[in-house]
A = this chain, B = another copy of it.
Amino acid sequence: MYQLAEKLFPICRSITGDGVRKTLQILQQECPELKIYEVESGTKVFDWEVPDEWNIDDAYIENSKGERIVDFKKSNLHVMGYSMPMDRYVGLEELKSIVYTQKDQPDVIPYVTSYYCRRSGFCMSENQLASLPEDRYHCVIKSELKKGSLTYGEIILNGETDKEVLLSTYICHPSMANNEVSGPCVAIELAKWLKSLQPARYTYRIVFLPETIGSITYLSRNIDIMKKNTVAGFLLSCVGDERTYSIVESRYGNTLADRLLQNVLHYHYPDYKRYSFLERGSDERQYNFPGVDLPVCAVCRSKYGEYPEYHTSKDDLNLISEEGMRGTVELMKKCIHALEHNGYYRVKCLCEPQYGRRGLYPTVSQKGSYDSVRALTNFVAYADGTNDMIDISNRIEVPVEELILIAEKLLQNNLIERIDRV
């Protein structure tokens, strides 16, 4: 994954343009099931319309000695996203009016955009700006904003049923590591693993979208089937550092996605951080919007907005690691494994079955001899058809992955039945 991240990192992505296309093509090489879609500028998508396409070749500021003091080629963060073309000589004061800095972090280049209001702007560190002398600066942006299209990617892996699980990530930030490339890298790794689960119970819908306008565009085309079929969804964002795990809950924090993720995190990484929907920030905003109502929560390592490097030039490849992304992959595999086996079970006999003659119980009874079978008897005690495996796991304090093994033994012995599939 880290190699893929290195490949994706330098590309100058935005909500439209060739950076997105190139990113999706690289991902498609990893997973040929990925389909790339283009939606024309001007297309009405709910309350929005798809904007003109933005591309950029180069940008810089030169001082009067012809020295480039900022250079798009060195960091694509130096140009405000969606900047209009520019070629102008300005004095220091005017320069300051078009340069954005992060005053509370004077040594970083901030990531700044102006998608829907036409501007031109540069970004640099506050320290650099403060050190600039009075001079004549040549400000050049070789960009283009014109009718084109918005590009997104989609992988559909069909399962035994139409019921779907959504994985969503975004591909619209330029050189940002945790808050951008970690998402597609983890999503592609999961897609490869899901393909190996032949066939999974659920259909998996894995989407790579420009944030906000991309998810709104995608929903405008797919909302009916998604509302009908989605059982759980996860927005993957900032999933590459090693500091913690985080969940951003769905609107009311009570969907299957929430219950599942909280349960798995509880056993996998009990120190995880839990954020309410009030602290949302990525496309879970759209998935959970009133009337959209998809059961989606966000999964992060360090949550967007909560780590200092967020939306700055410090969110670079040093911030993420193979290990960090691997942790998220393992977490999501546990969630998906639990989800695939989740269901409502009901015991088939009245009173406890005679486990002993089925080899499920010690035949000598002595103080302490039943401790080893507590998980099994507790599972059965709550297998009354009203609890799914997550409920039972929460109640009896046994991870779902262990309950899956127990359920298999009980199914083999014809002691329980699955009465419904969630």
Which residues of A are at the interface with B, using a C-beta cutoff of 8 A?
A: 46-48, 80-81, 100, 102, 110-117, 119, 212, 215-216, 219-220, 223, 251, 277-278, 280, 285-286, 288-292, 305, 310-312, 346-347, 349-354, 356-357, 363-367, 374, 377-378, 380-385, 395-397
Contact = CB atoms under 8 A, between A and B. Distances in A.
Nearest to A371: B305
Contact of A290 (B111, B212, B346, B377): B346
Contacts of A288: 381
Contacts of A80: 364
29 contacts: A47-B351, A47-B352, A47-B354, A80-B364, A100-B364, A102-B366, A112-B364, A113-B365, A114-B363, A116-B354, A116-B356, A116-B363, A119-B363, A119-B364, A215-B351, A219-B350, A219-B351, A251-B381, A277-B381, A285-B377, A286-B351, A289-B347, A289-B351, A289-B352, A290-B347, A290-B380, A290-B382, A292-B351, A311-B367
Given A251-B381, A367-B311, A378-B278, A347 B116 contact: no
Contacts of A48: 351, 354
Nearest to A100: B366
A363 B46 contact: no
B384 A291 contact: yes
B350 A289 contact: yes
B290 A367 contact: no
Which 4 residue pairs are nearest across A and B when measured between Cβ atoms? A290-B384, A117-B363, A311-B367, A47-B353
Contacts of A365: 81, 112-115
Contacts of A347: 289-291
Contacts of A119: 363-364
A129 to B, nearest CB: 15
Given A110-B366, A290-B347, A291-B347, 7 more contacts: A46-B350, A112-B366, A116-B357, A286-B351, A286-B352, A290-B346, A291-B384
B251 A382 contact: yes
Contact of A352 (B216, B351, B380, B396): B216
Nearest to A349: B47
Nearest to A213: B354
A47 B349 CA distance: 7
A130 to B, nearest CB: 18
Nearest to A280: B381
B382 A350 contact: no
A241 to B, nearest CB: 17
A81 B290 CA distance: 61
Contacts of A110: 366-367
A312 B368 CA distance: 12
A357 B111 CA distance: 22
Contacts of A223: 350
Contacts of A350: 46, 219-220, 223, 289, 291-292
Contacts of A363: 114, 116-117, 119
Nearest to A291: B350
Contacts of A251: 381-382, 384
Contacts of A219: 350-351
A277 B310 CA distance: 47
A110 B368 CA distance: 11
A356 B213 CA distance: 13
Given A351-B286, A352-B212, A352-B285, A305 B117 contact: no
Contact of A367 (B46, B102, B397): B102
Nearest to A385: B290
Contacts of A47: 349, 351-354
A96 to B, nearest CB: 15
A244 B310 CA distance: 45
A220 B351 CA distance: 9
A113 B364 contact: yes
Nearest to A288: B381
Nearest to A355: B47
Contacts of A115: 365
